[in-house]
Amino acid sequence: MLPTLPLEKILHSQGFGTRRECRALIRDEAVSVNGEPCDDPTAVFATANLEFTVYDEPWPYREKTYIVFNKPAHFECSHKPIHHPSIFGLLPPPLVLRGVQCVGRLDEDTTGLLLLSDDGQFIHRMSSPKWKVPKTYLVTAKHPVSDELIRRLKEGVLLHDESEPIVALACERVSEYQLTLMLAEGKYHQVKRMVAAAGNRVEQLQRIRIGNLALDTDLAEGEWRWLDPAEIGSPEAKQVQNNHQNPPIGP
């Protein structure tokens, strides 16, 4: 069962500032709950299926946050970027204040599917090598994709500082200069290094799938959406009613 909470605590838990700041928002009549204005910070609401608005911006209550984000190029997956802007600047401030973190990073020039969450167990389960959650990438190569390149990636290539060859879980030619590559590991610059070791070079790289979750075709670069727990196999899934059809992300 999801909890029943005072409105000021609900807003605080959803990233709308300190308790004092949340009380001020409510008393300034900036908040509505389930379509009804509320100016009482102590008013109590059941959080299950709760919808509220802040300055007419709708927000569903989420005990934990799970975000699907289509990362554009030239952004860093860091709260403290060095050379490029942070992806967190593309997210609404309440999500950042909640402390969402990237579930595995993408290089600044890599685009595509990125998950973010404030659920530590979920982050660990999705990013730890122990669980071997497969990730699939669309690779645009500098030179034509040859049968030899595909064969070497499937059989395994030995990378510098690695003791054993790394084998692709799957590898298929998409077009003359493109291939898809599925990996279980998440080593530094792994796709680029593997393609280079197999005799080609990565010109563009996009992550298109994590487990069974594919990048939304209608989600533009820089855009995000909520990922319901039922889509990710979260323990919370049984508490959430939704109509999503995607299978769990896990292995």
- 119 belongs to the catalytic site: no
Residue 54: both structure tokens together: 């802040």
How many angstroms separate the first and last alpha carbons of the chain?
A: 27
Q: Cα torsion for 16, 75, 138, 66, to the nearest 10°? A: -10
CA-to-CA dists, residue 112 to 56, 67, 183, 191, angstroms:
30, 13, 15, 14
Tell me the DSSP string of 117-135. ES-HHHHHHHH-TTT---E
Q: Catalytic residue among 107, 147, 216, 218, which?
A: 107
What is the residue-wise DSSP string for 128-180? Answer: -TTT---EEEEEEESS---HHHHHHHHH-BPPTT-SS-B--SEEEEEETTEEE
Please tell me the distance from the alpha carbon of residue 43 to that of residue 45, in angstroms, as a whole number.
7
**Of 52, 56, 9, nearest to 34 (Cα)?**
52
Per 3-state DSSP, what percentage of the chain is helix, strand, and coil (rounded to 5)? 25, 30, 50
- Contact between 8 and 2 under an 8 Å Cβ cutoff? The reply is no
Residues carrying an active site annotation: 107
